[in-house]
C-alpha cells in the first residue's frame, strides 16, 4: 500500500513537472523571436535594439497587448508608441472626434518625445501639439523629410492594421533632426499616429544628395521598406509612377525571370536584364554582374542615360535581392 501511494505521488510530481516545463517552453516561444534585420537595418541600427523591420507577428502581439491595456514602459519604445496610438483610439471611441482632437492639440497630451498626431479624411493635419503645423497636408512639405523621402505619401496609405514608417524628423525634446519611427493606424476615416526617435551616428542629420552613394543606398532601402509594408503589387505600381522619381534617382525592379517590371521609363518594361537592356554602350554586360546581387547588396558601375540630363553618363548602381526580386537605384557622374 505504501509503495502504491509512493508511485501515485511520483506520477503526480512528474505530470506537474511536465506541465511546468511545457508552460516555460510556451512562454519562451511567445516572447522569443529571431531578428530579421536587413543589411540597411543593421547599418542604421547597429545595436539591434529597434524595430525598423520588426516582424508583422511582433507588431500584432505588441498592438494586441496595448489594446488590452497592458502597461508598457518607455524602455520598450516601439511598444510604448503603439500604446500611445491605441490610447488615442480608445479616447476617440469613448469621447468622440471633437474631444479627442481638442485633447491632442493640447500640451497636456505630450509625453516627453511622444505625442499623437491626427490627419483627417483629406490627409490634412487636425491634431498636433504644434499649432503652427495644423492644416498641413501629408502630400505637402510636411510629408517630405530633409533627405527628400516622401514619407507623407506612405503614411496616407495607413490601414486599420497599422504599419511603421521611418523618416527623418525634428525631435521636440532634443531640438535635433533624428530618425523617427512612426506607427500609423487608420480609424473611422482618420489617421492616428505617433513615433519614437533614434539618433543614428551613421546617418548624422540624414543622408543628403550631396552624398550620392549613401543617398542611393537609403533610396533603395526605402523601397524595401515600402515592399514590406505594402506588398509586391502596390510596390511595383508605385515605382512605375512619375511621383516615385526623385531627380536622377528612381527605383527599378526585376522579377524572378530577370524581366523589368518597374522603371521610370515605361518603354523599358518587360525587357530582359540578360539581353540588350543589360549591355551598355561600351560593350560591358553589366546585367550579368547585377544578377549576382544578394540580400547584402552590391555596386555595379556602367554607362547609362541620365534621365535628368538626357546624356549618357557613368552610373553607379546599388542592387539588392529581396523576396526573389532585384531592386536597385543609382547615381550618375
Q: 206 - beta bridge partners? A: none
pLDDT tens by residue, 300-309: 999 988 877 8
DSSP per residue, 238-256: HTTSGGG-BTTB--EEE-T
Query: What pLDDT band is residue 322 in, cutting at 50, 70 and 90?
Result: very high
Pure H helices in the chain: 2-31, 39-44, 56-67, 77-95, 97-104, 151-155, 212-230, 232-238, 286-290
Q: 183 - beta bridge partners? A: 164, 194
Region 4-25: mean pLDDT is: 41
pLDDT at position 148: 73
Say yes or no to pLDDT of 40 above 70.
no
Say yes or no to pLDDT of 107 above 70.
yes
pLDDT tens by residue, 262-281: 998 999 999 999 999 999 99
Higher pLDDT, 195 or 204: 195
- The CATH H-level superfamily of 33-198 is PAS domain (3.30.450.20)
> What is the residue whose three cell numbers read 505600381?
237
Say yes or no to pLDDT of 178 above 60.
yes
Segments of the chain assigned to CATH 3.30.450.20: 33-198, 212-332
Q: What number does CATH give the domain 212-332?
A: 3.30.450.20
Say yes or no to pLDDT of 10 above 80.
no
Cell of 6: 509512493
Amino acid at each position: 500500500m505504501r509503495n502504491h501511494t509512493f508511485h501515485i505521488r511520483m506520477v503526480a510530481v512528474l505530470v506537474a513537472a511536465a506541465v511546468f516545463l511545457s508552460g516555460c517552453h510556451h512562454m519562451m516561444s511567445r516572447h522569443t523571436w529571431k531578428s530579421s534585420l536587413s543589411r540597411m537595418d543593421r547599418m542604421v541600427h547597429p545595436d539591434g535594439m529597434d524595430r525598423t523591420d520588426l516582424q508583422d507577428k511582433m507588431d500584432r502581439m505588441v498592438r494586441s497587448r496595448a489594446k488590452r491595456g497592458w502597461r508598457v514602459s518607455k524602455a520598450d519604445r516601439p511598444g510604448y508608441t503603439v500604446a500611445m496610438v491605441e490610447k488615442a483610439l480608445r479616447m476617440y471611441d469613448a469621447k468622440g472626434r471633437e474631444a479627442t482632437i481638442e485633447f491632442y492639440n493640447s500640451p497636456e497630451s505630450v509625453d516627453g518625445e511622444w505625442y499623437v498626431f491626427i490627419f483627417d479624411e483629406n490627409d490634412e493635419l487636425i491634431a498636433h501639439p504644434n499649432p503652427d503645423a495644423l492644416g498641413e497636408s501629408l502630400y505637402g512639405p510636411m510629408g517630405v523629410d530633409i533627405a527628400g523621402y516622401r514619407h507623407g505619401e506612405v503614411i496616407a496609405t495607413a490601414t486599420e492594421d497599422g504599419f511603421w514608417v521611418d523618416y527623418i524628423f525634428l525631435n521636440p525634446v532634443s531640438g535635433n533632426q533624428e530618425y523617427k519611427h512612426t506607427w500609423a493606424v487608420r480609424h473611422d476615416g482618420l489617421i492616428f499616429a505617433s513615433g519614437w526617435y533614434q539618433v543614428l551616428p551613421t546617418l548624422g542629420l540624414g543622408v543628403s544628395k550631396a552624398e550620392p552613394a549613401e543617398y542611393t543606398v537609403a533610396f533603395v532601402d526605402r523601397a524595401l521598406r515600402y515592399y514590406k509594408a505594402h506588398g509586391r503589387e502596390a510596390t511595383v505600381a508605385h515605382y512605375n509612377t512619375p511621383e516615385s522619381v526623385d531627380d536622377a534617382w528612381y527605383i527599378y525592379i526585376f522579377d524572378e525571370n530577370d524581366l523589368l517590371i518597374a522603371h521610370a521609363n515605361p518603354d523599358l518594361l518587360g525587357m530582359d536584364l540578360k539581353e540588350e537592356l543589360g549591355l551598355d554602350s561600351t560593350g560591358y554586360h553589366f546585367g550579368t554582374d547585377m544578377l549576382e546581387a544578394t540580400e547584402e547588396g552590391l555596386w555595379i558601375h556602367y554607362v547609362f542615360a541620365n534621365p535628368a540630363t538626357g546624356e549618357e553618363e557613368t552610373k553607379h548602381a546599388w542592387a539588392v535581392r529581396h523576396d526573389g526580386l532585384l531592386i536597385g537605384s543609382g547615381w550618375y557622374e
